Structure 1
Amino acid sequence: MNTHKPIYVVDDDAEIRSLLQSYLERNQFEVRTAEDGEQLLTALRGGDAAALVVLDVMLPGDDGFEVCRKLRTFSQVPVIMLTASSDEMDRIVGLEIGADDYLAKPFNPRELLARIRAILRRSDQRSEAAAPGAGRYQRFAGFELDAAQRQLVDPHGVPVTLSGAEYELLHLLVDHAGEVLSRERIAEATRGRGNLPMDRFIDVQVSRLRQRLGDDARSPQLIKTVRGQGYVLAAPVETGAAGRH
């Protein structure tokens, strides 16, 4: 697992930072902390490597949403957002700006640890699956998905920015093109747990992914909704070892 890269914990509460740092270090993670978003962004822009960021929403200066927006302009490091609000809108906003998961305060540190491990495990599995070979490149509707670089290129050859969660969802749909995937199956594959009642995480991610692909939400042609069943990538997929020239 990606324990050679540190996990950043960003929270203005020194007690919470210390608690999470101690707990995660006891579980074999290297942990670095920041009390606000500026410290985090400065470190990562300066070349600091990170496997994952745990980011509180309520921060001095830029809040967690704005920090995540700025982070996504130059990094796709996975982000788990912490929110003290019970308002689902906070969670949806976090997902819409590129967060990979969220956790409501107060929470059990073991739950956070499970979320971190699930995200890093999926990242490692994708890296292993993306080793040079016949299945590195997948093409559909003019797009090309490079599993080794975790990069999507549009039909004009322009890279499409994807968050980690968006990439995981697209890779899953491409791997199972033509197959209807239930929300529960998508949640299990991309989040490491089933979809909870009233949990709009999957729907929000599908909506964001459609935007990235230029797929009309009112009449989608690539990612189609099958009422009462789930979602399906409707385009045929070609797989190969060589990229598009």
Structure 2
Amino acid sequence: MNIVWVEDEENLLAECVAFFKQEGYRVYGASTYEEAVQRIETVKPDLLIVDWMLPGGGSGLDLCKLNERQWNLPVIMVTAKGDEFDKVLALELGADDYVSKPFGLRELGARIKAVMRRSRRSTNMQVTSDADATICRGELTIDPSKYTVFKSCLKVELTRTEFTLLLKLASHPGRVYTRMQLMDEALGDAYVGFERTMDSHIRNIRRKLEQNPADPRYVLTVYGVGYSFNEEV
């Protein structure tokens, strides 16, 4: 498995690269945003490990945003920032997991394996459960094989997390999911303990899909329970 590791602390980066190479991974280091982009384009990695703070023109969060638009790779954010707001922000911008410094290399190795399992599960969910078939719900066209959503022929830009949630809901119209079910089935255990971030994801989906997000047509709230996709669409 190929990993691009973006970290501006040279000693830490060298230690981590050496350790995970011994574990059988092919690890390629980068210390700036610009170098990371070049590495990713050249290496075509399976996973990104990204420091929040980077020198130069872009941060780790900027790299997460670019990844959502361009590569759609699993991402682990590694940073000295450790409060809940920062963790939620990183996850909402596309990170699949979040590790605070200082961290143990073996723990991080376990997280790498967990993120890759979730990534494969997400891919399998899209390929096998929906047989790669395009889903049409009202004005929405959802293509699991291409990670695309169109509304009335206009492309809707969703993050990978938003797309995964929408696909899960739209695949089973009328079925009610609790926040915990959506996190477990669609997102995985990186989100455990952050149930309320689900509300933020749903708000973002509505903002991008609905004509009137305050009166949604597609993703409905089932008060006291969770969310469902409108089966009448």
For the aligned pair, the TM-score class normalised by the smaller chain equals 0.7 to 0.9
Q: Pick one of 186, 189, 192 that aligns with 2:185.
A: 189
Q: Is the aligned partner of 1:139 residue 2:136?
A: yes
Note closer, same or farther for the CA distance 1:229–1:50 as it changes in structure 2 (3 Å cut): same
Q: Pick one of 60, 71, 74 that aligns with 2:70.
A: 74
Q: What is the aligned partner in structure 2 of residue 90 from structure 1? A: 86
Partner amino acid, structure 1, of 2:89: V
What secondary structure does 1:203 align onto? helix
Q: Pick one of 37, 46, 50 that aligns with 1:51.
A: 46
How many pairs does the alignment contain? 230
Deviation digits for residues 42-85 of structure 1 (CA, Å, limit 9, x no counterpart): 233x4541222111111112222233334444332222222322
Q: Pick one of 54, 57, 60 that aligns with 2:55.
A: 60
Partner amino acid, structure 2, of 1:60: P
Structure in which a larger fraction of residues adopt helix? 2
What secondary structure does 1:187 align onto? helix
CA contact (8 A) 1:138 1:146 kept: yes
Correspondence 1:157-172 to 2 at 5 A: 158-172=154-168
Question: Partners of 1:196 and 1:229 in 2: how far apart?
Answer: 17
Note closer, same or farther for the CA distance 1:233–1:93 as it changes in structure 2 (3 Å cut): same
Note closer, same or farther for the CA distance 1:149–1:47 as it changes in structure 2 (3 Å cut): farther
What secondary structure does 2:198 align onto? helix
Q: Pick one of 195, 217, 223 that aligns with 1:221.
A: 217
Post-superposition shift, 1:216? 4.0
Q: Pick one of 204, 207, 213 that aligns with 1:211.
A: 207
TM-score of the two chains, using structure 2 as the length reference? 0.81
List 4+ stretches of structure 1 deviating above 6 A.
none
CA contact (8 A) 1:7 1:51 kept: yes
Deviation digits for residues 83-131 of structure 1 (CA, Å, limit 9, x no counterpart): 3223322223323433333233333334433443333334334444527
Q: What is the aligned partner in structure 1 of residue 7 from structure 2? A: 11
Q: What is the aligned partner in structure 2 of residue 241 from structure 1? A: none
Partner amino acid, structure 1, of 2:80: A
Q: Which moved more, 1:33-42 or 1:182-191?
A: 182-191
Post-superposition shift, 1:199? 5.0
CA contact (8 A) 1:145 1:153 kept: yes
Q: Could you say what the CA RMSD is over the residues aligned between the two structures, in angstroms?
A: 2.8
Note closer, same or farther for the CA distance 1:27–1:185 as it changes in structure 2 (3 Å cut): farther
Structure 2 unaligned blocks of 5 or more = none
Question: Partners of 1:107 and 1:236 in 2: how far apart?
Answer: 48
Question: Partners of 1:232 and 1:114 in 2: how far apart?
Answer: 33
Partner amino acid, structure 1, of 2:54: L
